[in-house]
Amino acid sequence: MEGYSRYKTPLSSRYASEEMAYNFSEMKKYSTWRKLWVNLAEAERALGLNISDEQIEEMKANIDNIDFDMAAKEEKATRHDVMAHVHTFAACCPKAAPIIHLGATSCYVGDNTDLIMLRDGFNILLSKLARCIHHLGKFAETYRFLPTLGFTHMQPAQLTTVGKRACLWVADLLTDLRNLERARNNLKFRGVKGTTGTQASFLQLFEGNQEKVKQLDEMVTEMSGFESTYLICGQTYSRKVDVDCLCVLASLGASAHKICTDVRLLASLKEVEEPFEKSQIGSSAMPYKRNPMRSERCCSLSRHLMTLVTDSLHTASVQWMERTLDDSANRRICLAEAFLTADIVLNLLQNICEGLVVYPKVIERHIQQELPFMASENIIMEMVKSGGNRQECHEKIRVLSQLAAAVVKESGGDNDLVHRIKEDSYFSPIHSVLDKLLDPISFVGRAPQQVKEFLEQEIKPALEPYREELTKESILNV
């Protein structure tokens, strides 16, 4: 029972993928700290400081040899997480102990590791987002010719196609793909900047040699997998970077929420459903129910994702002068939670997109309930072509439409406007073409062509960098 007596965040214990949970794990964090200490020592040695190969090799051999119990005891004694891990690393690297963390401040390992985690987190998310776009694109192509009622104000409107509606969802996700790519590509390394960002400690180490200090910063940056460093920072990199990262994730959350809300509404209409497994239970009390629980969960988590950006905004606004430490506890929560939540949202969204079920007969029935009213202008135009009077025809259809509407609203019957038109001799000049006039596909405009153009001109180019990822099997924990 011991493992069940303490709170666990559902983000990691219930929902998140293994790769994202590891990306923000203690093992990833503290082993990255050690790698950064190795990078610093190697660069300092290359630039002439008295650091031996033996010390470097000892550090490399112990990167993953982390005594977490010792680190916890050290932190309890010192009240300082970085120094606790310096001491823990030094305990298993006695030869290298004198040069570990040489010239650095805590944010050398803390902030640089955060930037690595953010970059790696974006890479995980981008692959999953690409898969969602890919599956929705295939769905759009499959149903690009299937007419369906459009809805504005959640009221029946001009027809569109099921595929065209899916393209509305994809268009939002493509914006998110570009935003995530931009946020990832804009990330730089804090680098080797010292306690207030002035590099004073390193200038002292290299006896005033500014060129070597610059080289040290560039070397460690490159060794850590970044192309450039923030030239200006305080003790920390600007917390505006966190704002930028969480803003794009919040925007992704809004997209997912909108898509899954649409799916929930369509499920209520019984036109489209998310995947529903054979043994799945929709309700404990109502066995017949097929609740859209994946879409509901996605909306629920998306709301949480959208709120987390406010943490980063408040934190960025109160970083007095070169920094204050009131950012630390908040960032431990909001950065990891934002990426974990985004990861879960995309897992759910991918699962939904892969298994969307369409019910064409239900869609057709809904169209037939509304299309006669929408076709009234077309009928009028055809009557005029056949020699009829526009105003007289308009009045005839208005009267018949009111009668048909009464059948629908007052009696709960089907829309019988077409039947009334066929029975009215006034409309005999167009009786032979009436069915053609009421063919739903003639009311969707260029929707099928728009889908094809969108697939070729926007979706395909955007997914090109992810082609290899799209061929890999994806294991979803939903």
Signed CA dihedral, 179, 180, 183, 184: sign only: negative
Measured distance CA(289)–CA(293) in Å, rounded: 11
Question: Residue 153 in 3-state DSSP?
Answer: coil
**Burial (CB count <10 Å: 0-12, 13-18, 19+), residue 70:** middle
Give the catalytic positions in this structure. 153, 283
Contact 435, 150 (CB under 8 A): no
What is the number of other CB atoms lying within 10 angstroms of the CB of residue 2?
5
Please provide the DSSP assignment of 410-430 as one string: HH-----HHHHHHH-GGGGGG
Apex 278 CA angle, 298 and 258, nearest 5: 20
Question: Residue 356 in 3-state DSSP?
Answer: coil
Question: Residue 30 in 3-state DSSP?
Answer: helix
Structure token pair of residue 175: 């914006």
Strand 155-161 vs strand 147-152: parallel, antiparallel, or unpaired?
A: antiparallel
Task: Give per-residue burial for 209-230: e unless 16+ CB within 10 Å, then b.
Answer: eeebbebbbbbbbebbebeebb
Nearest to 220, CA basis, from 45, 53, 350 = 45
Helix, strand, coil percent content, the chain, rounded in steps of 5:
70, 5, 25
Helix (H) and strand (E) counts for the chain?
Answer: 21, 4
**Type of residue found at 44:** E
HEC sequence for 266-301: HHHCCCEECCCCCCCCCCCCCCCCCCCHHHHHHHHH
Question: Residue 160 in 3-state DSSP?
Answer: strand
Nearest to 105, CA basis, from 323, 389, 367 = 323
Measured distance CA(326)–CA(314) in Å, rounded: 11
Largest CA distance in the chain: 104
